[in-house]
Each structure stands twice: as C-alpha cells, then as structure tokens.
Amino acid sequence: MEEAVVLYPTPAIGHVRAMVELGKVILSHQPSLSIHVLIATPPHQADGTAPYITAASSASPGFTFHRLPETTLPPPSSKAAGGHEGPIFEVLHLNNPFIHEALVSISKNSKIQALIMDFFISVAFQVATELNIRPYYLYTNGAGSLASFLYLPTLHNQTTESFKDMDVLLDIPGVPPVPAKDMISPLLDRNQKAYEFFYGCSITMAKSAGIITNTFEALEPRVIKAISDGLCVPDAPTAPLYCIGPLIASTDEKKTGGASGGRMAECLTWLDSQPSKSVVYLCFGSLGLFSKEQLREMALGLERSGQRVLLVEEMKIALPMVELEKGFVSSDEVEKRVRELMKSKEGKVVREQITAMKEAAKAAWGEGGSSHLALAKLVESWKHE
C-alpha cells in the first residue's frame, strides 16, 4: 500500500498556492509519497482557484486534486462573523462530512501519513483524530503572528474585555508589545463569531502533531525560539514547530501566469524592465479588502511619490504606517513612507536588510539549511510512527 499525505488548504488562491508548494517540497524529499489536495468551494468567487489547480494538476504528476461538493450557507445569525472570514469558516465547518468521506476513500488504497490543514481549518482536526490520522497545520504567515495566535487563549483568560476596548500593550512571547486595538480585526470583539473561530483554531493548533510555518530561522529567530521553548502555550505541551519556508512558486510557474493567465506574465515582464531595486512592493493577500476611499488614497499617494511601489514591520524589512480613524491610511502617509523607503538613510537600511534576507532565504533551502533540515525532520517523523 502506498503512503500518502493529504493537504487541505483554505479556498483562497494564496493559501492554495502555499499548500501546493509545500506538497512539492515534501514530494521532492520523499518521491514515493502521493499527495492528495482537498479543495473546498469558497463562498465567494467559486472558480477563483480553478485555473491554478488545472495548471498545477498537469505540472505535478504526483498530485491528485479532489474538489469537494458545494455547500449551502445557512442564514446569518446576529452573532455571525463579519468580513470575509465568517462565510469561509462556515463553509469549512459544513465540509467536515465531505472531508471524512474523502479521507476514508483515500485510505482504501493508501496509508495516510498526515493530514496537513490550513490554520483556518480547526474544524477538521476532529475528523483526523476520529480516523487516527495525524493532524498537522500549515500556518501560511510568519512566526510572529503565529505566536499571537498560540498565545490567544492565555490573553483570553487574563481579561473579560474585548481587545477593541483595551488601551494596553499586550505582552506576547517573542514579539514586541502589541497595542490591544492593533490585533487583527476578527479578534477585536470577543463576542463575535469570528473571534470564536480563531480562538478554536489557536487551541487545536497547539494540540496538533505539528505546526508548519512559512518562514525560516534567520528571518525570525527570537519568536521561533519562544514558540519552540513553549512560551506561547505556557499551560500545555507545544506542538513541534517546523519552519519550512519561504514557500514560493517556481520561476517557470510564475512566468506562465499561474491562476491569472497572461496577466501575471505581463506584470513580470514590466517588472523585469524596471531599473534594479527601484520598485516598492505592496502585498494585501488574496483576501485583502479595502474601501473605495482607501484604494483611492493609496493610489494617490503612490502616484505622488514618483516611485514605481511593500508594507510588512518588525524584522526591519518595512516601514510602519500611521493610521487615522478606523485604520484609514491617508495618501500623504503613503507618499511619505514610499519616499522614505526609497530615498532616506533609514530606507536604505531597510533595503539592505531585504537583500540580506533574500540571500538568507536561499541559504535556508540549500543543503544543510534550516528549512531543508526542518523538512527532512518532518518527513522522517512519519517513518517512525
């Protein structure tokens, strides 16, 4: 009987892409494995991942993609999660019977070594344990935000207030103090469904067979050590942490355009024609949602900066943005920060650090590099259980 690993991403293109890239590196390390990917139908833009999955299926012979049946969302309740997270969580919860069915079907011809779920999908943890399949989580972000999720139950038990009502700094192991009101929006109100979902995710992640995070040791050494030392889950054992990153699509795939067809190739052609180190990169994620007014302000600020245009912080590879009421960032602030990044002494330090981290990322995947060793440790653990 062949051995298999089952991957279950959140149905957003960025999450699907990261999960598939993880499958590729697992397969490169252990070619005898078969990789099965379970694809849920998202509540919005149902075919958003279809072109990418079609391309990945033909390019990756060791992969089998399983499209789960579409589910019908119930009417929203008064406690329903706002934003785009709520419907996604509901769909993933309703998919549990389909996940059970898919895992049973795959198990008829394969020994499933692991079910690797997106960190959003805590609800599938129960299905995996019922079937005696080891549950793992892929956390598609870095270790800094992972620390805040793992520490959420501790913060939850320290107060009865919601973060949105607290004018304090939160002390989270491994990261600088965080203003309570700066926690991500789904966590701001503990009485909302979104908070309940994320709280459940943080608990089940800590109980899993392992957490895979899309980072590498040179990028976030302090917080990686804090998590590995158990500081973020002080009252219980911490799941093993595997820093396997960065998970980046291959050059050939990016040139062909992935899920966006020719549009991405055209974008990269434009990028290749620009002077070296002259472009500022802004990344909002595939689920990034902005008001019309905010998009207009960003566009105006970028245009006035005179640059061709990053926003991330900590790790010294980005500059912070000063927000106005309700998180709104003005065009003046965008223009100021872009100019600072590209023309100031502080910006030069940031750009030099970015170059250094680029080289460190390559080294992490080299023979004996931190991500290469973490991947080997993960795959090796399946052989002994």
Is 136 a member of any domain?
Answer: yes
303 and 367 part of one domain: no
Q: Name the residue range of residue 298's domain.
A: 275-343
Q: Is 241 helix (H, G, I), strand (E, B) or coil?
A: strand
150 and 67 part of one domain: yes
Nearest to 175, CA basis, from 313, 272, 42: 313
**% pLDDT > 70, the chain:** 79
240 and 288 part of one domain: no
Q: What is the pTM of this model?
A: 0.83
Other CB atoms closer than 10 Å to residue 185's CB: what's the count?
A: 15
27 and 161 part of one domain: yes
Is 175 a member of any domain?
Answer: yes
Distance CA 322, CA 290 (A): 17
Question: What CATH number does residue 129 fall under?
Answer: 3.40.50.2000
C-alpha separations of 122 from 89, 186, 225 in Å: 9, 16, 24
312 — pLDDT class (breaks 50, 70, 90): very low
- The predicted structure's pLDDT at residue 80: 52
Distance CA 373, CA 136 (A): 18
∠234-239-245 over CA atoms, to 5°?
115
Q: How many helices (H) and strands (E) does the chain have?
A: 15, 9
pLDDT tens by residue, 54-91? 888 877 788 999 998 887 766 665 555 555 566 677 77
Structure tokens at 68: 């789960």
**Mean pLDDT for the stretch of residues 319-344:** 70
Please determine, for residue 260, whether its predicted confidence score (pLDDT) is greater than 70.
Answer: no
Is 117 a member of any domain?
Answer: yes
169 and 28 part of one domain: yes
Window from 149-163, 236-250, 304-318 with minimum mean pLDDT: 304-318
- The predicted structure's pLDDT at residue 310: 36
∠375-378-383 over CA atoms, to 5°?
130
Is 23 a member of any domain?
Answer: yes
Please determine, for residue 141, whether its predicted confidence score (pLDDT) is greater than 80.
Answer: yes
**Mean pLDDT for the stretch of residues 230-252:** 89
Is 227 a member of any domain?
Answer: yes
Structure tokens at 87: 């419907």
pLDDT tens by residue, 9-34? 988 888 889 999 999 999 999 999 99
Give the chain's largest Cα–Cα span: 62
279 and 231 part of one domain: no
321 and 183 part of one domain: no
- The predicted structure's pLDDT at residue 42: 66
Please determine, for residue 168, whether its predicted confidence score (pLDDT) is greater than 80.
Answer: yes
Distance CA 148, CA 241 (A): 15
Is 31 a member of any domain?
Answer: yes
Is 266 a member of any domain?
Answer: no
Report H helices in 212-261: 221-228, 251-256
Inter-residue contact 119 to 201 (CB < 8 Å): yes
217 and 320 part of one domain: no
59 and 201 part of one domain: yes
Active-site residue set:
15, 118
Is 357 a member of any domain?
Answer: no
What burial class does residue 263 get, using C-beta atoms within 10 Å of its C-beta: 0-12 exposed, 13-18 middle, 19+ buried?
A: exposed
80 and 136 part of one domain: yes
Distance CA 351, CA 294 (A): 26
176 and 311 part of one domain: no
179 and 293 part of one domain: no
Range among 191-205, 307-321, 322-336 with highest mean pLDDT value: 191-205
| Total structural domains within the chain | 2
**% pLDDT > 90, the chain:** 51
Distance CA 317, CA 311 (A): 9
Distance CA 106, CA 291 (A): 43
Element containing residue 301 per DSSP (H, E): helix 292-305
